[in-house]
Amino acid sequence: MPEVHAKLSASGAKKWINCPGSVVLESQIEERESDYAIEGTTAHALGEAKIRLATKEYTRAKYHKAIQDLQVDADMEDYTDAYRDFVIEQLNSMRRETKDAVLLLEQKLDFSAWAPEGFGTGDCIIIGNNRLQIIDLKYGKGVTVQAAENPQLRLYALGALAAYDFLYDIQEVVMTIFQPRKDNIDTELLSAEELYQWGESILPIAQKAYNETEEFCASTHCDSGFCRARPICRTYAEKKLEMAKFDFVKPSTLSPEEISEILEEAESLSKWATLVKDYALYEAVHNGMEFPGYKLVEGHSNRKFQIDDTLIASQLIAKGYNEDDIYPRKLKPISDLEKYMGKKEFQKLLGEFVIKPPGKPVLVPITDKRPALHSVEAAMKDFENVWNN
Ligand code: SF4
């Protein structure tokens, strides 16, 4: 769930632990709720309601009331079903060990003993048999989120320990990321002792961040932590501009090693440029900010009908125009047809006609999981049709 109130939030911990100055810099940028965040909030609310229904805490009427205003599509139904099933499976497994196992959903967790005024909301907590399990639903499908050394999960777990350790004498903590759109279920297991030690280790840095230090450090956490300050952060910009050390006037002199280095940076440079452009446009439109050498103008637009397309079509048909000539007839994409027909029926009727042509060759980092195309000749042969298209 998004945490907008705590200065040191669990969701922002990756940033403030690695770059304590991010707290003060991010506070200078207006927080805008993205479509992804809204989608995530909806998925959390739906998942929570489904679990409460499955555990009989909600009646069907109460469940429908809880989800009545949510904008849900078929995929979200499937993914939240998977989340509910996973949580129930974990709960049942704990209940097989001890009938006293408890399930807590959307609990406010106070971890201020390790990060001043820090609190957050834990999606799902299961406690029993001296074990605490935290399950965090991630609805994003961009970056695969790992559980190992994940400071958000660890802070939630510390908050849960602070609230329940004295009642349940917790010895072991299991922290799980459930990210259905990436097929990712990842877990870290620590003893309560190890977790307390980690909490102690981050306390000095949390104090610095809370006191609004201007100590910055740019690295992968800037992008993976989605730091809002990236468009204005000097440290981040300097890191990106290290690229300027290359002499672009004589590209033919670049060695393969230098080109690798550029390739490595190129994608993040282009993302950074987009961030800066979006920020500047937003500030110019909404806050009247001016940027020397730039002005705000009306962008290009295309003509459109000012009444509904169906009314236009009915007028044309009434005048004798053929419907087939005014409406494009196009088969739906495979994924839409599969959803519409159901996987089984789709496979039965159309499965034999589906092929997956090879994708165009792309240069990716060596860490990419796809196998390398070793033979240039074979690759050329495989892809000659693709090149020619
Ligand atoms: S962009 Fe990076 S260096 Fe700058 S404040 Fe954010 S986390 Fe720190």
Is the pLDDT at 386 greater than 50, yes or no? Answer: no
pLDDT exceeds 70 at position 228: yes
The reported pLDDT for the residue numbered 175 is: 97
Mean pLDDT for the stretch of residues 252-273? 79
Give the pLDDT of residue 3: 43
Q: Which of 49-53, 194-198, 266-270 is predicted least confidently?
A: 266-270
Give the amino acid at 361.
P
Dist. CA 159–CA 175, nearest whole Å: 13
Q: Pull the structure tokens for residue 162.
A: 């602070």
Categorize the per-residue pLDDT at 227 as very low, low, confident or very high, splitting at 50, 70 and 90. Answer: very high
pLDDT of residue 112: 95
Instruction: Judge if the beta carbon of residue 25 lies within 6 A of ligand 1.
Output: yes
Rg, Å, the chain Cα set: 26
Q: Considering only CA atoms, which of 199, 30, 210 is closest in space to residue 109?
A: 199
Give the domain ranges of the chain: 13-210, 226-287, 309-353
Q: Whose CA is nearest to atom 1 of ligand 1?
A: 230
Residue nearest to atom 3 of ligand 1 (CA): 218
Closest ligand 1 atom, residue 19 Cα: 8
Mean pLDDT of the chain: 88
For the cut 70, the answer to whether the pLDDT of residue 118 exceeds it is yes
Q: Is the confidence at residue 71, as pLDDT, over 80?
A: yes
**What is the 15 CA–ligand 1 centroid distance (Å)?**
7
How distant, in Å, are the alpha carbons of 166, 260, 267, 359, 382 from that of 363? Answer: 54, 10, 12, 12, 16
Q: Is the pLDDT of residue 70 over 60?
A: yes
Determine the distance separating the centroid of ligand 1 and the alpha carbon of 217, expressed in angstroms: 6
Ligand 1 atom at minimum distance from 221 CA: 7
Which of 172-176, 323-327, 369-373 is predicted most confidently?
Answer: 172-176
Stretch 342-366: mean pLDDT: 87
As a whole number, mean pLDDT of residues 255-268 equals 79
pLDDT at 6: 81
Query: Three-state SS for 203?
Result: helix
Tell whether the model's pLDDT for residue 46 goes beyond 60.
yes
Strands (E), the chain: 102-110, 119-128, 131-137, 172-179, 184-191
What are the residues facing 104 on neighbouring strands? 125
Query: How many A from CA of 19 to the centre of ligand 1?
Result: 6
Q: How many CA atoms lie within 13 A of 117 on its CB side?
A: 10
Percent pLDDT > 70 in the chain is 92
As given in the structure block, the two tokens for residue 127 are: 């406690």
Q: State if residue 222 touches ligand 1 by the CB under 6 angstroms criterion.
A: yes
Tell me which of 8, 14, 22 to substitute to probe ligand 1's pocket, judged by most ligand atoms within 8 Å of the beta carbon.
22
| pLDDT tens figures, 154-167 | 999 999 999 999 99
Give the Cα separation of 86 and 67 in Å (integer): 20
Instruction: Kindly indicate the confidence band of residue 377, based on its pLDDT and cuts at 50, 70 and 90.
Output: low
Q: Establish whether residue 236 lines the binding site of ligand 1, counting it when its CB lies within 6 angstroms of any ligand atom.
A: yes
What average pLDDT does the segment 145-153 reach?
95
Q: Within the chain, what is the greatest distance between any pair of CA atoms?
A: 80
Dist. CA 382–CA 389, nearest whole Å: 13
- For Cα atoms 58, 119, 213, give the angle at the middle one, nearest 5 degrees: 155
- pLDDT at 84 (0 to 100): 97
Task: Give the pLDDT confidence score for residue 263 in this predicted structure.
Answer: 81
CA–CA separation, 18 vs 325, rounded Å?
A: 60
Looking at residues 278-307, what average pLDDT do you find? Answer: 88
Residue located via tokens 């909030």: 41
